[in-house]
Structure 1
Amino acid sequence: MDFSIASILALDGLTNGAVYALLGLATVLVFTVTRVIFIPQGEFVAYGALTLAMMQAGKTPGTVWLLLILAVVASLMELVERWRHHGQPLRALRSAAKTLVPPVVVALVSIWAAPQQFPMWAQAALSLAIVTAFGPLVYRVAYQSLESATPLVLLIVSVGVHFAMTGLGLLFFGAEGFRNPPFWDYRLELGPVALSGQTIVIALCSLALIVMLYLYFERSLRGKALRATAVNRTGARLMGISTHASGQLTFTMAAFIGALSGLLIGPTTTVFYDSGFLIGLKGFVAAVVAGLSSYPGALLGALFVGLVESFGSFWASAFKEVIVFTLILPVLLVRSLGSSHSDEDH
């Protein structure tokens, strides 16, 4: 291996690592606020890329119909729960309408816009809106009533949600893979390395989102409320912070990050209905490196995972996935040796 090959592999690893960093940040965010190890994070990635592919083909994405179904189910659950606990019909109807109206509006706009062949940036924005709307609905349907359950129960639910979303992805998109066109058709030669426009877009979008998340958690009231929920759920509830609202907001952000990751990675690889699982697992490895608690650690872990994957594919392409996922073992070993107690001690 000479310097030129090493440079190309390093660039490829950092590019993939930037996407894994977003997924790792989303995994840490969801776990710290809701205690949910969100395995279906990768499905948002696949849904984002494939929804844009359907838009490019001039077809209404199947995710629109799933969005409508979830919106109806979530609104009915909200209506029944509010009516049962508060006994105020108008308040219950208002809460149900608040759950139902935004996704229905997004779905109706998507049904109208899909055959219009709008510019790619408009299709990408609409795809982002469709998949982002899944976040609070998935939380409301699958997790909100179980927010006091143990992490093991929440993990089992996550596995079920993952299989459901994967099967629905096969139903809506089929077994055929899709590869989207790049957002920026540009090429910059830097010695032995050719820097594509899509690589620049991935780097800029990842950096911008990380900065925005930092400012959101440091400067905004809602961001500080999420941090308080992550530190102490009971204390946050006593201070008037709704854990339901925190969970829905967290899943909304996770869905947005997953959809954006799908849009970014779509032009670099062929995405299938089940491709999100492996991509999401690599983000999970980055989160595990960070102990599921540190955002800077997840960022550094994701870049490390990207570099290991890139160089591993050069030396042993048939085992690159094995090499990446084996990274979890020494990390877990070091953390287990350094841990002085477990949850059962309390």
Structure 2
Amino acid sequence: MDFSIASILLLDGVTNGAIYALLGLATVLVFTVTRVIFIPQGEFVAYGALTLAMLQTGKTPGTVWLLLILAGVATLMELIARWRHHGKLLRALRSALKTLVFPVLVSLLAIWSAPQMFPLWAQALLSVAIVTAFGPLVYRVAYQSLEAATPLVLLIVSVGVHFAMTGLGLLFFGAEGFRNPPFWDERFTLGPVMLSGQTVIIFGVSLALIVLLWLYFERSMRGKALRATAVNRTGARLMGISSHTSGQLTFLMAALIGALSGLLIGPTTTVFYDSGFLIGLKGFVAAVIGGLASYPGALLGALFVGIVEAFGAFWASAFKEVIVFTLILPILLLRSLRSGHSDEDH
């Protein structure tokens, strides 16, 4: 291996690491606020890429119909819950309809605009809106009623949600893979490395999103409310911060990050209905390196995972996934040895 090959592999690793960093940050965000190890994070990635691919063909994406079904189920659950709590049907109906408004508007817009063949950037924005709308609905249907459950129960639910979303992805998108067109076709030469415009976009969007997340949590009241919920759920609830709202907002942000990651990674690889699992799992490894609590740790872990994957693919391409996922074993062992027993162990 010479310097030019090492430079190319390093660039590939950092590029993939930027995507894994976003997924790792989303995993840490969801876990700290809701205690959910959100395995289906990768499904949002696949849904984002495949939704854009369907819009590119002029067809209405299957995610639109799934979104409407999920919105109907979530609205019905919200109506029943509010009616039992307040005992007033009109008030419960008004509250439940708020769950339905955004998904229906996005779905109607997608059904109308799909045959119009709008420019790529417009289709990308619509894809992000469609997939982002899934976040609060998934939380409402699968997790909200179990928010007081143990992390183990929530993990089991996440496994079920993962299999459900993967199966629905096969139903709505089929087994065929898709590769989206790049958002920027330019090429730049940096010594021995050829830098593509899509790579520049990946770096730019990833960095911008990380900065925006930092500003959101540091400067906004809602961001500080999420931080308070992450630090002490009971204390945040006593201060008037709704755990339901925090959970839905967290899943909204996770779906947004997943959708953007799907658009970024779509032009660099062929995405299938089940591709999100491996991509999301690498983001999970990055989050574990950060202890499922540290955003900077997840960021550094993601870059490490991307670089190890790139060099592992060069030396032993058939075992690159094994190499990446084996990393988690010594990390878990080290963290287990360094951490004491929690209160739940007694």
Give the letter aligned to residue 179 of structure 1.
Answer: R
CA distance in 1, matches of 2:345, 2:235: 21
Matches within 5 A, 1:82-231: 82-231=82-231
CA distance in 2, matches of 1:285, 1:33: 19
Give the letter aligned to residue 310 of structure 2.
Answer: S
**CA drift at 1:189:** 0.8
1:237 matched to 2:241: no
Paired residue for 2:17?
Answer: 17
Give the letter aligned to residue 48 of structure 1.
Answer: G
Q: Deviation per CA, 1:286-333: give whole Å up to 9, x if none.
A: 000000000000000000000000000001101000000000011011
The 3-state SS of whatever aligns with 1:189 is strand
TM-score norm. by structure 2 comes to 0.99
Q: Deviation per CA, 1:103-160: give whole Å up to 9, x if none.
A: 0000000000001000000000000000000000000000000000011110000000
Paired residue for 2:78?
Answer: 78
CA distance in 2, matches of 1:286, 1:175: 28
CA distance in 2, matches of 1:302, 1:94: 43
**CA drift at 1:343:** 4.1
CA distance in 2, matches of 1:77, 1:91: 14
Paired residue for 2:54?
Answer: 54
**CA drift at 1:271:** 0.2
**CA drift at 1:256:** 0.3
CA distance in 1, matches of 2:156, 2:192: 47
CA distance in 1, matches of 2:29, 2:339: 22
Give me the CA root mean square deviation: 0.6
**CA drift at 1:90:** 2.3
Q: Deviation per CA, 1:237-285: give whole Å up to 9, x if none.
A: 0000000000000000000000000000000000000000000000000
Paired residue for 1:312?
Answer: 312
The 3-state SS of whatever aligns with 2:189 is strand
Paired residue for 1:33?
Answer: 33
TM-score norm. by structure 1 comes to 0.99
Paired residue for 2:288?
Answer: 288
1:297 matched to 2:297: yes
The 3-state SS of whatever aligns with 1:194 is strand
**CA drift at 1:344:** 3.1
Give the letter aligned to residue 317 of structure 1.
Answer: S
**CA drift at 1:342:** 3.0
CA distance in 1, matches of 2:317, 2:149: 41
For structure 1, the residue ranges without an aligned partner over 5 or more in a row are: none
The 3-state SS of whatever aligns with 1:183 is coil
Q: Deviation per CA, 1:15-70: give whole Å up to 9, x if none.
A: 00000000000000000000000000000000000000000000000000000000
The 3-state SS of whatever aligns with 1:195 is strand
**CA drift at 1:339:** 1.0
CA distance in 2, matches of 1:285, 1:291: 10
CA distance in 2, matches of 1:58, 1:344: 53
My pick for the range that moved more, 90-99 or 10-19, is 90-99
Q: Which runs of 4+ in 1 moved over 2 A?
A: 342-346
1:3 matched to 2:3: yes
Aligned length: 346
**CA drift at 1:78:** 0.4
CA distance in 2, matches of 1:290, 1:128: 27
CA distance in 2, matches of 1:59, 1:123: 12
Give the letter aligned to residue 216 of structure 2.
Answer: Y
Give the letter aligned to residue 282 of structure 2.
Answer: K
CA distance in 2, matches of 1:263, 1:26: 16
Give the letter aligned to residue 197 of structure 2.
Answer: G
Q: Identity across aligned pairs (percent)?
A: 86
Give the letter aligned to residue 86 of structure 1.
Answer: H
CA distance in 2, matches of 1:274, 1:38: 16
CA distance in 2, matches of 1:250, 1:16: 24
CA distance in 2, matches of 1:150, 1:248: 18
For structure 2, the residue ranges without an aligned partner over 5 or more in a row are: none
Paired residue for 2:341?
Answer: 341
